[in-house]
């Protein structure tokens, strides 16, 4: 099957792609396949001005693969269990979504045996300032290391823990039910991850983890801080400034990401999020 040619512009030199002139709500299967192919090629895609109902967003997500469930069920979009709401909006005094859920450099569901392949966000309402999302290209960061350092890091394995992650983000939040903790035991993944699409290597480090196998907590913290500082240099980072209707999809196999703060006393930020199932890192 011939892949359609898309009108695109790079997000950053060597990383990511803005896809121009595609209406996802009306896109046929061939167009969606071309969009997915661009995602796999570049590591992240942006499509602006997308007016999609939740069921259309779900159809778009399924073009990438099987959708992944959500660890916590508090803010599932009613009628659409695949969609999780990120929002600081209150209705009758109760939050309708998770707020400040993604602050701190990390990759999604890294605490599972098979972390999600990609994360996708659809911007429903955005503040006029702040709330940017930052993506760090972990493949470029690894490639820029000296060969000897690449070899040293390739021997390490990092511990990933849902319990630890929640403790680091627990201020002002409800306690996680014990059954959720039991369902998400600690896992171990290689620090240097191989991308299954083309074999490129990613420095797959996360700030919200307890450390490395065989290392002390103190030594682990020093190395994690060093690697996060390296990966998040400006030369490796794309900053997405949100507009209503934006769809941003990034590849969790080769990117690190973080949200940023905004004045939540003045503005509303609301996003719909979906995850697509991934495979075991190697």
Q: Is residue 2 part of a domain?
A: no
**How do beta strands 80-87 and 201-203 pair?**
unpaired
Position 147 scores a pLDDT of 98
pLDDT tens string, the chain, 282 residues long: the values are: 556 899 999 999 999 999 999 999 999 999 999 999 999 999 999 999 999 999 999 999 999 999 999 988 889 999 999 999 999 999 999 999 999 888 899 999 999 999 999 999 999 999 999 999 999 999 999 999 999 999 999 999 999 999 888 777 655 456 778 888 888 899 999 999 999 989 999 999 998 899 999 999 999 999 999 999 999 999 999 999 999 999 999 999 999 999 999 999 999 999 999 999 999 999
Q: Is residue 253 part of a domain?
A: yes
Position 173 scores a pLDDT of 59
Position 181 scores a pLDDT of 85
Position 2 scores a pLDDT of 58
Q: Is residue 82 part of a domain?
A: yes
User: How does 68-97 read in b/e, with b if 16+ C-beta sit within 10 Å?
Assistant: bebbeeebbbeebebbbbbbbbeeeeeebb
How far apart CA 225 and CA 140 sit, in angstroms, is 18
Position 187 scores a pLDDT of 97
For the beta carbon of residue 221, count every other beta carbon within 10 angstroms. Answer: 14
Q: Is residue 231 part of a domain?
A: yes
CB–CB of 207/114 below 8 Å? Answer: no
> DSSP readout, 6-73?
PEEEEEETTEEEEEES--TTT--HHHHHHHHHHHHHHSEEEE-S----HHHHHHHHHTTSPEE--S--
Q: Is residue 281 part of a domain?
A: no
The CATH number of the domain where 54 resides is what?
3.60.130.10
Q: Is residue 60 part of a domain?
A: yes
Domain count, the chain: 1
Position 178 scores a pLDDT of 85
Position 251 scores a pLDDT of 98
How far apart CA 27 and CA 47 sit, in angstroms, is 12
The contacts found for 28-33 with CB under 8 angstroms, 24 or more apart, are 29/63, 30/1, 30/4, 31/4, 32/60, 32/63, 33/1, 33/3, 33/4, 33/63
How far apart CA 259 and CA 204 sit, in angstroms, is 18
**Domain assignment of residue 225, given as a range:** 7-276
How far apart CA 16 and CA 259 sit, in angstroms, is 18
Q: Is residue 15 part of a domain?
A: yes
91-272-74 Cα angle (round to 5): 55
Position 111 scores a pLDDT of 94
How far apart CA 213 and CA 207 sit, in angstroms, is 15
Position 152 scores a pLDDT of 98
Q: Is residue 163 part of a domain?
A: yes
């Amino acid at each position: 099957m011939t892949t359609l040619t898309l009108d695109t512009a790079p997000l950053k030199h060597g990383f990511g792609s803005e896809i121009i002139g595609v209406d996802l709500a009306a896109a046929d299967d061939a167009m969606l396949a071309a969009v997915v192919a661009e995602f796999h090629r570049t590591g992240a895609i942006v499509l602006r001005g997308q007016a999609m109902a939740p069921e259309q967003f779900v159809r778009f997500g399924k073009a990438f693969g099987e959708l992944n469930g959500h660890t916590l069920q508090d803010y599932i979009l009613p009628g659409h269990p695949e969609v999780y709401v990120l929002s600081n909006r209150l209705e009758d005094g109760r939050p309708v979504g998770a707020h400040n859920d993604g602050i701190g450099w990390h990759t999604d569901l890294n605490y599972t045996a098979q972390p999600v392949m990609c994360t996708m966000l659809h911007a429903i309402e955005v503040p006029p300032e702040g709330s940017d999302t930052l993506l760090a290209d972990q493949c470029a960061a690894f490639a820029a290391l000296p060969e000897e350092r690449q070899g040293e890091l390739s021997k390490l394995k990092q511990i990933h823990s849902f319990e630890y992650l929640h403790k680091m983000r627990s201020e002002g939040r409800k306690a996680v039910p014990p059954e959720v903790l039991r369902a998400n035991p600690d896992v171990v993944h290689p620090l240097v991850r191989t991308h299954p699409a083309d074999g490129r290597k990613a420095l797959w480090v996360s700030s919200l983890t307890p450390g490395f196998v065989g290392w002390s907590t103190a030594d682990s913290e020093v190395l994690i801080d060093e690697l996060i500082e390296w990966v998040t240099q400006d030369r490796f980072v794309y900053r997405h400034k949100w507009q209503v209707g934006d769809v941003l999809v990034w590849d969790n196999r080769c990117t690190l990401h973080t949200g940023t703060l905004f004045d939540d006393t003045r503005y509303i930020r609301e996003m719909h999020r979906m995850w697509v199932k991934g495979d075991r890192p190697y």
